[in-house]
Structure 1
Amino acid sequence: MKYGLISLLHLQIARLLGLVRTVEAVRLDGEPRPQWALLIRGRGFTRLLRDEPLMSPYLLRTHDPTVPRPMRFLVRQAAERYAQSVGLMKQQTSWAVKET
């Protein structure tokens, strides 16, 4: 499926208003190697989190840095940890420990 993009600022506002239902890590289709993005399902919208680099677009080594694109992660766990760090997903509260 094709989805539009949403910036982190607009997403945080929607989250504060209670419009965000779930945030999940999904695998992007059509990429040469597996890449993951954050899919936001809300009340009346479904969007991918937009990548908004803080540095100058001239420092990026992409084909066209002006084209909007989703924030990409190489592994699912990295996407989930990022979502937890910005408050989009619940933090991990327990860890498994091997008893010796």
Structure 2
Amino acid sequence: MQYGLISLFPLQITRLFGLVRVIEPVQVFDGRASSWVLVVRGRGFTKVLRDEPLPASSLIRPDGWNTPRPLQFPSEQVAMAYARSMGLLPQRTNLGIKE
């Protein structure tokens, strides 16, 4: 299935109004390799978190740098860490400490 994209600001607004049910990492395959994206499931919608390119990123990706694309992560742990750092998921309450 194909899902639409949602930017971080509208996502925060929908969370404020209580329209977001769950944000979860999902593995996707693009034919060559797999990556992870954050899927937002809400009341009446399912969207994928959009990558917000920096204005100077045209130096890195000259072809279509401003086209909408999903924010991709190399692993599930990196996706979860990003979601926690942006305030999309609650912070971890227990940490594993070796003694």
Normalising to structure 2: TM-score of the pair? Answer: 0.90
**C-alpha contact (below 8 Å) 2:6/2:47 kept by paired residues:** yes
Q: What is the SS of the residue equivalent to 2:55? A: coil
Q: Deviations over 1:26-64 (max 9, x none)?
A: 111224222111000001100000000223342232642
2:88 counterpart letter in structure 1: L
Tell me the equivalent position of 2:87. 87
Tell me the equivalent position of 1:48. 48
Asked if residue 72 in structure 1 is aligned to residue 65 in structure 2, the reply is no
Q: For 1:60 and 1:43, locate their aligned partners in 2 and report how far apart those are by CA, in whole Å.
A: 37
Tell me the equivalent position of 1:59. 59
Q: For 2:68 and 2:60, locate their aligned partners in 1 and report how far apart those are by CA, in whole Å.
A: 13
Q: Where in structure 1 are there 5+ consecutive unaligned residues?
A: none
Q: For 2:30 and 2:98, locate their aligned partners in 1 and report how far apart those are by CA, in whole Å.
A: 39
Normalising to structure 1: TM-score of the pair? Answer: 0.89
Q: 1:62 to 1:41 in 2, by over 3 A?
A: farther
Q: 1:10 to 1:36 in 2, by over 3 A?
A: same
Q: Where in structure 2 are there 5+ consecutive unaligned residues?
A: none
Number of aligned positions between the proteins:
99
Q: For 2:62 and 2:97, locate their aligned partners in 1 and report how far apart those are by CA, in whole Å.
A: 42
Q: For 2:56 and 2:11, locate their aligned partners in 1 and report how far apart those are by CA, in whole Å.
A: 23
The two structures, once aligned, show a CA RMSD in angstroms of: 1.5
Misfit runs of 4+, over 3 Å: none
Q: For 2:23 and 2:98, locate their aligned partners in 1 and report how far apart those are by CA, in whole Å.
A: 30
Q: CA deviation at 1:95?
A: 1.6
Q: For 1:55 and 1:91, locate their aligned partners in 2 and report how far apart those are by CA, in whole Å.
A: 30
1:94 counterpart letter in structure 2: N
Percent of residue pairs identical = 49
1:55 counterpart letter in structure 2: P
